């Protein structure tokens, strides 16, 4: 009886182990197939700051794994029946011969040995598969470096002079917006532009490009996801999350500060009398966006929860990441109308979400000219943004307002990347355009840059004079100063940014994640 119970228990544990192995394999496959350019550091950061994440993204991953796991367990059950029939009464012995004499030792049943060996081999292989599939090898194989310390410019250590007449700032981050969606004649991948309004805006206004045509920024290490991109473009640094920094915790819903050693765009604007706002249709707590913006510039956070609390949407309303972009732009119009009546200059930052992977969200009011749902989400977003910019330009406050539109990062949706075979990023750039600045287009083309450079460039677009034209790791693109990307090249710069930095951990991050609850 005891042997039978032990046998059942061992079989249950074996099946459980096999399921864990396959979950690891399927998660690795899902990450590689559905997402592009996700680093292990990004994955780790998202896992420990996951409050407010979209249920749709989680559900897609769960369904992907669950369906495959169901098939695996059916196969396991069939194999189990076969093993019981073939090996049920088989036993194995160890025999030792001493001349003509022999000694026999009965070992475990042979089917148990076979299963154990196979599962052990499979477990070792799956761990190795996930180790390289998730990029853990690159994450762990880094050296210490002083690169960030030696190249970082603290905004408090240089002279930053505001113009006599301070212009307002409307900064729009468009989820996963890249220039490969342009028409071929303007450096994109399509005969007819997927985003004609945004392409027109880039053509008619100031667009920084790595080529002679329209273009944009390369993604630097640590800026390849939304929170990293927000930090990169407003603080001029990558968002790094290292196991060795002693700032990691199991759950980061309770941290009270975010990069306390940084002095960024919001801080500079607040110091110069600006009122800062951050509007988004999702939960600002996701990835610590609420803490980051409230601690750096005292932004008023107008997120999904704010919309519910103030009666903009019903309490039980939830679409996509919270509420859709069509509502976001309508709410933004109302807020801009109200705050533009005040005497103080304002910085109104928007973050869209409809073009987020996987597959995006297409508003019912939009046309759907493409077979691919994700491309339709881009086309829809372009239409909404075009109408929103038209509205802004008709308002009285526009004459005193600079509008900046950038993507946060390149799309991570794997099937779109594979569809056009442009994973090498040769023609993939993060979108950017600057509207209504007093600057000229002298040095806007054939520039190599990344989102770090948007920090000082945005201040310069507002008329701020920055001594040395560098802040954080960024360079003012309106100046003649060489960017770090131009100096080192993207590949070498990424390697240097990935290295462990004591300066980054001790001075910039400090205790950001140390006191997580």
CA angle (304, 289, 343) in 5-degree steps: 75
Query: Is 153 in the same domain as 80?
Result: no
357/336 Cα distance (integer angstroms) = 29
> Would you state the pLDDT for residue 290?
94
- The answer to the question of residue 136 being in a domain is yes
Residue among 133, 27, 35, 29 at smallest CA distance from 417: 35
Q: Which of 79, 109, 140 is the last residue of a domain?
A: 140
Provide the number of structural domains found in the chain.
Answer: 2
At residue 78, φ and ψ (nearest 5 deg) are -65, -45
CB 290 within 8 A of CB 279: no
- Is 400 part of any domain? yes
Residues 265 and 207 in one domain: yes
Q: How far is CA 347 from CA 205, 372, 413, in A?
A: 20, 36, 31
Query: CA angle 334-230-43, nearest 5°?
Result: 125
- What DSSP line would sit under 436-489, residue for residue? S-S--STT-SS---BGGGHHHHHHHHTT-EETTSEEBTEE-TTSSPPPHHHHH-
Evaluate whether residue 517 is within a structural domain.
no
Q: State which of 108, 140, 172 marks the end of a domain.
A: 140
Please give the chain's pLDDT, 517 residues, in tens. Answer: 566 676 677 667 777 877 787 777 777 777 666 665 666 666 666 655 555 455 555 667 777 778 888 887 888 778 777 766 766 666 666 677 776 777 776 655 655 666 677 777 777 777 776 766 666 666 666 778 999 999 999 999 999 999 999 999 999 999 999 999 999 999 998 999 999 999 999 999 999 999 999 999 999 999 999 999 999 999 999 998 765 444 443 344 555 789 999 999 999 999 999 999 999 999 998 888 999 999 999 999 999 999 999 999 999 999 999 999 999 999 999 999 999 999 999 999 999 999 998 889 999 999 999 999 999 999 999 999 999 999 999 999 999 999 999 999 998 886 666 665 554 456 789 999 999 999 988 899 999 999 999 999 999 999 999 999 999 999 999 999 999 999 999 999 999 998 989 999 888 987 655 555 4
Q: Looking at the domain assignment, is residue 20 inside a domain? A: yes
Residue at 514 is within a domain: no
* Residue 76 shares a structural domain with residue 217: no
Q: What contacts 202, CB < 8 A, 6 or more positions away?
A: 179, 182, 186, 214, 431, 432, 433
The answer to the question of residue 132 being in a domain is: yes
- Distance, in Å, from the CA atom of 385 to the CA atom of 325, rounded to the nearest integer, reads 9
Residues 237 and 287 in one domain: yes
Spatial strand order of the sheet with 401-407 comes to 300-302, 275-280, 346-351, 168-174, 401-407, 432-435
> CATH code at 169?
3.40.720.10
Task: Specify whether 264 is located in the same domain as 347.
Answer: yes
* Distance set, CA 386 to CA 121, 175, 361, 391, 405 (Å): 56, 15, 17, 9, 11
Instruction: Give yes or no for a contact between 276 and 270, defined as CB atoms under 8 angstroms apart.
Output: yes
135, 176: one domain? no
CB atoms within 10 A of CB 107: 12
Are 212 and 221 within 8 A, CB to CB? Answer: no
In this structure, the answer to whether residues 293 and 186 fall within a common structural domain is: yes
The model's pTM: 0.81
Hey, CA dihedral for 115, 116, 120, 121, is it positive or negative?
A: negative
Domain final residue, candidates 140, 158, 182: 140
- Domain of residue 310, residue span: 147-509
Whether residue 304 sits in one domain with residue 165: yes
Distance of CA 288 to the CA centre of its chain: 13
CA distance 483 to 496: 15
**Same-domain status, 107 and 47:** yes
Evaluate the CA torsion angle 505, 506, 510, 514 in order and state its sign: positive
User: Is residue 266 within 8 Å of 296, Cβ to Cβ?
Assistant: yes
The Cα 14–Cα 119 span in angstroms is 8
In this structure, are 195 and 175 located in the same domain? yes
Helix axes 196-204 and 373-393, enclosed angle (nearest 10) = 50
Which tokens belong to 99? Answer: 């001349």
Is residue 479 domain-resident? yes
Q: Looking at the structure, do residues 122 and 57 belong to the same domain, yes or no?
A: yes
Check whether residue 161 and residue 124 sit in a common domain.
no
Judge whether 516 lies within some domain: no
**DSSP per residue over 262-295, as a string?**
---HHHHHHHTTPEEEEEESB-TTGGGHHHHHHH
């Amino acid at each position: 009886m005891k042997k039978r119970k032990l046998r059942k228990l061992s079989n249950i544990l074996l099946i459980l182990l096999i399921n864990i192995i396959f979950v690891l394999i399927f998660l690795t496959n899902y990450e590689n197939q559905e997402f592009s350019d996700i680093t292990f550091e990004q994955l780790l950061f998202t896992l420990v700051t996951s409050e407010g994440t979209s249920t749709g993204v989680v559900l897609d991953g769960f369904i992907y794994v669950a369906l495959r796991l169901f098939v695996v367990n059916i196969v396991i059950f069939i194999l189990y029946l076969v093993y019981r029939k073939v090996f049920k009464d088989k036993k194995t012995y160890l025999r030792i011969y001493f001349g003509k004499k022999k000694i026999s030792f009965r070992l475990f049943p042979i089917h148990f040995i076979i299963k154990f060996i196979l599962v052990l081999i499979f477990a070792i292989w799956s761990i190795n598969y996930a180790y390289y599939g998730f990029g853990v090898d690159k994450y762990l194989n880094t050296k210490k470096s002083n690169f960030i310390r030696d190249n970082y410019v603290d905004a408090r250590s240089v002279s930053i002079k505001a113009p006599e007449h301070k212009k307002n700032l409307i900064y729009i981050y468009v989820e996963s917006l890249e220039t490969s969606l342009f028409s071929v004649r303007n450096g994109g991948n399509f005969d007819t532009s997927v985003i004609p309004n945004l392409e027109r805006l880039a053509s008619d206004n100031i667009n920084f490009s790595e080529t002679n045509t329209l273009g944009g920024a390369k993604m630097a290490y640590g800026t390849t996801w939304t929170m990293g991109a927000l930090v990169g473009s407003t603080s001029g640094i990558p968002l790094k999350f290292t196991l060795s920094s002693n700032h990691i915790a199991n759950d980061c819903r309770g941290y009270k500060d975010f990069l306390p050693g940084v002095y960024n765009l919001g801080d500079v604007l607040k110091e110069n009398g600006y009122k800062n706002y951050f509007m988004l249709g999702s939960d600002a707590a996701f990835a610590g966006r609420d803490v980051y913006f409230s601690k750096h510039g005292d932004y008023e956070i107008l997120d999904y929860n704010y919309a519910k609390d103030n009666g903009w949407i019903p309490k039980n309303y939830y679409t996509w990441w919270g509420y859709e972009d069509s509502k976001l732009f309508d709410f933004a119009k109302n807020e801009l109308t109200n705050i533009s009546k005040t005497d103080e200059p304002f910085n109104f930052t928007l973050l869209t979400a409809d073009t987020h992977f996987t597959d995006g969200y297409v508003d019912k009011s939009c046309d759907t000219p493409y077979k691919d749902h994700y491309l339709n989400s881009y086309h829809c977003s372009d239409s909404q943004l075009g109408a929103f910019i038209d509205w802004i330009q008709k308002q009285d406050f526009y004459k005193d307002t600079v509008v900046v539109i950038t993507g946060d990062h390149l799309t991570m949706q794997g099937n779109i990347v594979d569809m056009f075979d442009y994973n090498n990023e040769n023609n993939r750039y993060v979108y950017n355009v600057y509207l209504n600045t007093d600057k000229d287009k002298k040095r806007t083309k054939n520039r190599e840059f990344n989102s770090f450079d948007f920090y000082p460039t945005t201040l310069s677009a507002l008329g701020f004079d920055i001594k040395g034209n560098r802040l954080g790791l960024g360079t003012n693109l309106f100046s003649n100063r060489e960017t770090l990307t131009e100096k080192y090249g993207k590949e070498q710069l990424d390697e240097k940014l990935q290295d462990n930095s004591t300066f980054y951990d001790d001075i910039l991050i400090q205790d950001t994640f140390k006191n997580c609850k």
